[in-house]
Amino acid sequence: MLPLEIDTLLAFYRDTESIAVVGASNDELKQANKIPKYLQSQHFRVIPVNPTADEVLGEPAFRSLSEITEHVDVVDVFRPAEEAPAIAADAVAIGASVLWLQLGIVSEEASEIATAGGLTVVMDACIGAVHRKLVRRHGLST
């Protein structure tokens, strides 16, 4: 569900610097590893959030969003939908601009929390796949 126009998406990717990836994984077979790795290759600052890892993709992993000490533009979620409302509340608390729920993750409650907190919400879409499509079709460069 991409409620955003192409121009808005293009501006979103151009303006984004840091992406906290909740559920980032060290398992190279998982999308929660492949997508953050792709985002790194596109010059985004990836901040892994994983309570069981010390490091993911060469970056120190944080146990929760609240432990991150730098500004986060986007919170990208690779966790089950039932966890999304609490993650949305944390995203609001840290001052993120966007809550992005990955492909297959939909939570109206999380969307309501994030929207009430002033965040833009994208659900059920892959942040990496959308980026790739915009690069191919619209010449997006980051």
Domains and CATH numbers, the chain: 6-138 (3.40.50.720)
Instruction: List the pLDDT tens digit at each of the 142 positions of the chain.
Output: 455 688 888 888 889 999 999 999 999 999 999 999 999 999 999 999 999 999 999 999 999 999 999 999 999 999 999 999 999 999 999 999 999 999 999 999 999 999 999 999 999 999 999 999 888 887 776 5
Q: Which residues, including other chains, have CB under 8 Å from residue 50's CB and lie 6 or more apart?
A: 23, 24, 25, 56, 61, 62, 63
Residue (of 55, 49, 51) closest to 75 by Cα position: 49
Residue (of 52, 54, 67) closest to 20 by Cα position: 67
Say how far apart CA 130 and CA 68 lie, in whole Å. Answer: 26
Say how far apart CA 136 and CA 131 lie, in whole Å. Answer: 9
